[in-house]
Amino acid sequence: MSELIDVAKDDTRSISHYMQVLGPGILGAAAAIGGSHLVASTQAGAIYGWQLVGLILLVNLLKYPFFQIGARYTMAADETLIQGYDRIGRGYLYLFTTLNLVAAVISAAGVAMLCGSILGLFIGDSLTVTQLSMIVLAGSLVFLLTGHYKTLDKVTKWIIVGLAIATVTAVCIALNKGGVAPPDFVSPSPWNLASVGFLVALMGWMPAPIELSSWNSVWLRQKKALNNSLDYKDALVDFNVGYITSTLLALAFVALGALVLHGSGTSLATSGIGFAHQLVDVYASVIGEWSRWLIALIAFLCMFSTTVTVLDGYSRALSECFVQFGQPQGSGPTGKGSRYTYPLMIAMGIISAFIIMFFKGALLAMLELAMISAFISALVFAWLNYRLMRLPQVPERYRLGRGMIALSWVGILFFAGFNLLFFYWYLFVK
């Protein structure tokens, strides 16, 4: 009897332990579930029905090794990906930094605009999407600069749980009701050159840009410094929980679009507040009108956490880069990686605000630009992450196995091939 009690205690400690180590992977999922899921996945289902489910699963699979390397390399080498890129060559670190500087402001502007659009559901027409987006950016910066990011770390997992429950519930009810498309409705095909732009945008943020692996690396090393019991297995569990959650929710949003919007004759709004209304209408029409404001609140909290996470993640990764430039090439962590974090956050916020003013509420155009740029750069980040695992700083037992090596090369070739196809489409077909 006492042995059973001891086992139960061990199991309880195990569950409690994993709840404590969950963090960087969940934050990564929060960033991923933003624009790629609420917008791109819903669009994919609304326009093409179920036809892109296989492509979404494929892209999540092909990106998996490169995202996992963020956790694997950090725990194996006890340094972030940024120090690893510098070990490969200082030029690669300059390339990584340059691409991230561009991606940072475009992505921050895109998610802030979507969050501002959802905020408009509560405020009404008294403010424009541009003004609402500025409020979101300012609020996110205040949240971060006053040190409340630890609060976000604690509540993010519950925001994700709330969104997941609402979305899965809506999908189950919609499946029971059946799709709204008429029996004779013919779905447009995504498998032609005219659709390449949409496919590239969808894959760019599915489940997220690959450079987010560097965020996980920075967050993970910081968490490891605070929690000595965090080990390699913990890091992979945390990463896998976040990655699998974001993948399953991507499929759920595709299902919602396919069941509720596909074949309904409703055109997706290109304006921010118009799209936010449509998104909430999808849930309300399935779950019930009573859920409208609850769903709007959950969607807003999800997008606000995404905006805060994007500002924090990019600024911390870029701060590590700038600190590394002041060190000899190939040197390890200095402990000063956060030196430029706050100035970079402020600079990101200001530049993102100017980008939002330029697009003037054209939400889908803004997000499409961010997603396409993420897919173009995915090839670079995938190759860099793959190279890291061959460095001598990585012990043999932590290196990629044959299966992961093969999957990595399939992913690299896939990204290269689709990049060539995209440039052909852009130059000769668009």
- Identify whether 247 is part of a domain: yes
Burial 251-278 (b: 16+ CB within 10 A, else e): bbbbbbbbbbbbbeeeebbebbbbbbbb
pLDDT of residue 8: 39
Distance CA 271, CA 66 (A): 34
DSSP-derived secondary structure letter, 292: H
Question: Is residue 153's pLDDT more than 90?
Answer: no
Cα–Cα separations (whole angstroms), residue 300 to 28, 282, 359:
17, 15, 21
Show the domain range for 259. Answer: 65-429
Q: Which residue has the higher pLDDT, 179 or 419?
A: 419
- Identify whether 311 is part of a domain: yes
Burial 360-394 (b: 16+ CB within 10 A, else e): ebbbbebbbbbbbbbbbbbbbbbbbbbbbbeeebb
pLDDT band, very low/low/confident/very high, at 344 (cuts 50, 70, 90): very high
Q: What is the mean pLDDT of residues 262-282?
A: 79
Distance CA 382, CA 423 (A): 19
- Identify whether 69 is part of a domain: yes
pLDDT of residue 150: 66
pTM of the model: 0.88
DSSP-derived secondary structure letter, 193: G
Three-state secondary structure call for residue 283: helix
Q: Which residue has the higher pLDDT, 105 or 234?
A: 105
Report the C-alpha dihedral over residues 31, 36, 41, 44, rounded to 10 degrees. Answer: 180
pLDDT of residue 2: 36
- Identify whether 231 is part of a domain: yes
Distance CA 66, CA 181 (A): 38
- CA 429 to chain centroid: 29
With beta carbons less than 8 A apart as the criterion, state whether 318 and 104 touch: yes
- Identify whether 76 is part of a domain: yes
With beta carbons less than 8 A apart as the criterion, state whether 120 and 272 touch: yes
Q: Which residue has the higher pLDDT, 156 or 370?
A: 370
Question: Is residue 149's pLDDT more than 70?
Answer: no
- Identify whether 141 is part of a domain: yes
Burial 188-199 (b: 16+ CB within 10 A, else e): eebeeeebbbbb
Give tens-digit pLDDT for 46-91: 999 999 999 999 999 999 999 999 989 998 888 999 999 999 999 9
Distance CA 142, CA 308 (A): 10
Domain count within the chain: 1
pLDDT of residue 178: 86
18-22, 173-177, 199-203, 306-310: least confident range: 18-22
Share of the chain above pLDDT 70, in %: 88
Question: Is residue 103's pLDDT more than 70?
Answer: yes
Question: Is residue 6's pLDDT more than 50?
Answer: no
Question: Is residue 272's pLDDT more than 80?
Answer: no
CB atoms within 10 A of CB 185: 13
pLDDT of residue 94: 95
Q: What CATH number does the domain containing 214 carry?
A: 1.20.1740.10
- Identify whether 338 is part of a domain: yes
Task: Tokens 């289902």: give the residue.
Answer: 45
pLDDT of residue 362: 74
Distance CA 243, CA 342 (A): 28
pLDDT of residue 270: 67
Phi, psi (5° rounding) for residue 333? -60, 145
pLDDT of residue 5: 39
Phi, psi (5° rounding) for residue 192? -150, 165
Question: Is residue 1's pLDDT more than 60?
Answer: no
Q: Is the peptide bond before 207 cis (omega within 30 degrees of 0)?
A: yes
Distance CA 222, CA 162 (A): 27
Beta carbons within 8 Å of 319's beta carbon, 6+ residues apart? 337, 338, 339, 340, 341, 344
Q: Within 13 Å, how many C-alpha atoms sit on residue 295's CB side?
A: 24
Question: Is residue 13's pLDDT more than 70?
Answer: no
Q: What is the mean pLDDT of residues 184-192?
A: 92
- Identify whether 192 is part of a domain: yes
pLDDT of residue 16: 56
pLDDT band, very low/low/confident/very high, at 124 (cuts 50, 70, 90): confident
Helices (H), 124-148: 129-145
pLDDT of residue 137: 95
